[in-house]
Amino acid sequence: MKSKRFSLWMLLCVVFALTGCGYNTMQQAEERVFKSWGDVEATLQRRADLIPNLVETVKGYASHERETLEAVINARAKATSVKLSADDLSD
């Protein structure tokens, strides 16, 4: 009788121990999920923080591009407005 009780208690202890191991594994997996999701949120926040800087950079470069385009247009207009007479040309 004592042997049966002892076996029953041992079986119960093993079952509870295995249940505890499974619970710990689930907790560790949950923590990994939370950490991974935190990494995703941090990356999205960093991306959102970079967008205003990118917009300002593009605005500054667009101003430079506009000035360059105006200079090219003026230079082209001056180059095409040159009038040469036939007398100025020599062989």
How would you label 22-58 residue by residue, b for 16+ Cβ within 10 Å and e otherwise? eeeeeeeeeeeeeeeeeeeeeeeeeeeeeeeeeeeee
Q: Enter the tokens of residue 85.
A: 């007479």
- Mind listing the pLDDT tens digit of every residue in the chain (91 residues)? 778 888 888 888 887 777 767 788 888 999 999 999 999 999 999 999 999 999 989 888 888 898 899 999 999 988 888 777 777 677 5
Residues in the chain: 91
Whether this prediction's pTM lies above 0.85 is answered by no
Q: Enter the tokens of residue 43.
A: 């990356």
Using CA atoms, how far residue 6 sits from 14, 17, 84, in Å, is 12, 16, 118
Quick one: CA dihedral 48, 49, 52, 57, positive or negative?
Answer: negative
Tokens 């009788």: give the residue.
1
